[in-house]
């Protein structure tokens, strides 16, 4: 009986020691609409747990924007969010702090930004932004490369989209916008970099008339209520993750955030294009 009691106490002591060693678990929230990336993110949080020596639990969310709200409300501790969501949170003084930005890869080059494009049909006589004056134009709703950064780019060119185009329309995604362009519903519009454009015959129909540079990748953010020491600990762990942590994901590394890149997302996040 005594040996069983000692064994039980040892188990309890070990369990308590383990809990103390790992501390309170972090919850990492990410929107996964299809479910196919769940295994890859499980691998990611496992690697982060090992690097931190602290448990990280994956919280799968299904609605875009839900991760930002969950972070603000304290339902999760860490989140992968898009530039436009981060910009909206910052512009509204929400409790969100950016930690690191995603590093993607273009060929053999690492990048923390990408480009958007303003396009027209090859058959049109529109060769530059000036040729779009008085024409019908399309944006992509809730997209950094489809709305916020193109609006910031046009403003730098001295163009107010509200008066420059005869009308502007909003589409739910880039594919729908390109289909509308091919169907003649609009004369020009915004889209993501060429690899995301339709790859076969449709690509030949499109003419890139302007490039919108320096659109930042999504980032990993935390609650602004988190202590500076905790933020620094998480940042170091995220940046130091091994390559195996990113297996199956669309990015292969993380770097310290460059706040300046997100300024247009903050400034123009409240631009109400679609109402």
**d(C-alpha 132, C-alpha 144), whole Å:** 21
Same domain, 106 and 188: no
- Asked if residue 170 is part of any domain, the answer here is yes
- HEC per residue, the chain: CHHHHHHHHHHHHHHHHHHHHHCCCEEEEEECCCCCCHHHHHHHHHHHHHHHCCCEEEEEECCCCHHHHHHHCCCCCEEEECHHHHHHHHHCCCCEEEEEEEEEEECCEEECEEEEEEEEECCCCCCCHHHHCCCEEEEECCCHHHHHHHHHHHHHCCCCHHHHCCEEEEECCHHHHHHHHHCCCCCEEEEECHHHCCCCHHHHCEEEEEEEEEEECCEEEEECCCCHHHHHHHHHHHHCCCHHHHCCCCCCEEEECCHHHHHHHHHCCCCCCCC
- Asked if residue 273 is part of any domain, the answer here is no
- Asked if residue 11 is part of any domain, the answer here is no
Which residues constitute the domain of residue 136? 115-215
pLDDT in the model for residue 109: 60
pLDDT in the model for residue 195: 52
- Asked if residue 33 is part of any domain, the answer here is yes
- Asked if residue 3 is part of any domain, the answer here is no
Domain end, chosen from 200, 215, 230, is at 215
pLDDT in 10s for each residue of the chain, 275 residues: 433 333 333 333 333 333 334 468 999 999 987 767 899 999 999 999 999 999 999 999 988 888 888 998 889 999 999 998 898 888 887 889 999 999 987 655 678 888 889 999 999 999 999 999 999 999 998 888 999 999 999 999 999 999 999 999 999 998 899 999 999 999 999 988 655 555 444 456 888 999 999 999 999 999 888 999 999 999 999 999 999 999 999 899 999 998 899 999 888 876 777 76
**d(C-alpha 22, C-alpha 45), whole Å:** 14
CATH number of the domain bearing residue 126: 3.40.190.10
pLDDT in the model for residue 64: 82
- Asked if residue 196 is part of any domain, the answer here is yes
pLDDT in the model for residue 200: 46
* Cβ–Cβ under 8 Å, residues 67 and 85: yes
Same domain, 165 and 185: yes
Q: What does the block give as tokens for 251?
A: 């990015």
What is the separation of C-alpha 226 from the centre of its chain, rounded to a whole number of angstroms?
Answer: 21
Residue with tokens 């502007």, as numbered in its chain: 168
Same domain, 186 and 229: no
Q: How far lies 103's CA from each of 65, 124, 155, in Å?
A: 21, 36, 28
Q: How many domains does the chain have?
A: 2
**d(C-alpha 96, C-alpha 107), whole Å:** 33
pLDDT in the model for residue 78: 96
Same domain, 68 and 159: no
Same domain, 222 and 192: no
Same domain, 208 and 119: yes
pLDDT in the model for residue 234: 96
Same domain, 104 and 123: no
- Asked if residue 275 is part of any domain, the answer here is no
Closest CA to 253 of 239, 269, 271: 239
């Amino acid at each position: 009986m005594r040996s069983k009691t000692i064994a039980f106490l040892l188990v309890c002591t070990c369990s308590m020691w383990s809990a103390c060693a790992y501390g309170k678990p972090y919850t990492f929230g990410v929107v996964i609409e299809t479910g196919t990336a769940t295994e890859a993110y499980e691998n990611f949080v496992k690697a982060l747990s090992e690097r931190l020596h602290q448990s990280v639990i994956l919280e799968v969310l299904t609605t875009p924007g839900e991760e930002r709200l969950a972070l603000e409300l304290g339902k999760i501790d860490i989140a992968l969010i898009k530039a436009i969501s981060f910009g909206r949170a910052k512009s509204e003084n929400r409790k969100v702090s950016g930690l690191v930005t995603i590093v993607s890869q273009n060929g053999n080059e690492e990048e923390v930004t990408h480009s958007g494009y303003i396009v027209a049909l090859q058959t049109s006589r529109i060769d530059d932004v000036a040729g779009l004056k008085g024409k019908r134009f399309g944006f992509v709703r809730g997209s950094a490369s489809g709305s916020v950064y193109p609006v910031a780019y046009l403003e730098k060119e001295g163009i107010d989209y509200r008066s420059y185009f005869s009308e502007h329309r909003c589409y739910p995604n880039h594919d729908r916008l390109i289909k509308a362009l091919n169907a003649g519903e609009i004369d020009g519009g915004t889209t993501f970099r060429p690899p995301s454009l339709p790859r076969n015959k449709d690509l030949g129909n499109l003419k890139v008339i302007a490039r919108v540079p320096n659109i930042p990748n999504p980032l990993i953010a935390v609650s602004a209520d988190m202590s500076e020491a905790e933020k620094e600990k998480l940042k170091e762990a995220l940046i130091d993750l091994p390559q195996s942590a990113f297996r199956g994901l669309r990015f292969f590394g993380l770097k310290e955030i460059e706040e300046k890149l997100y300024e247009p997302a903050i400034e123009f996040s409240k631009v109400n294009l679609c109402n």
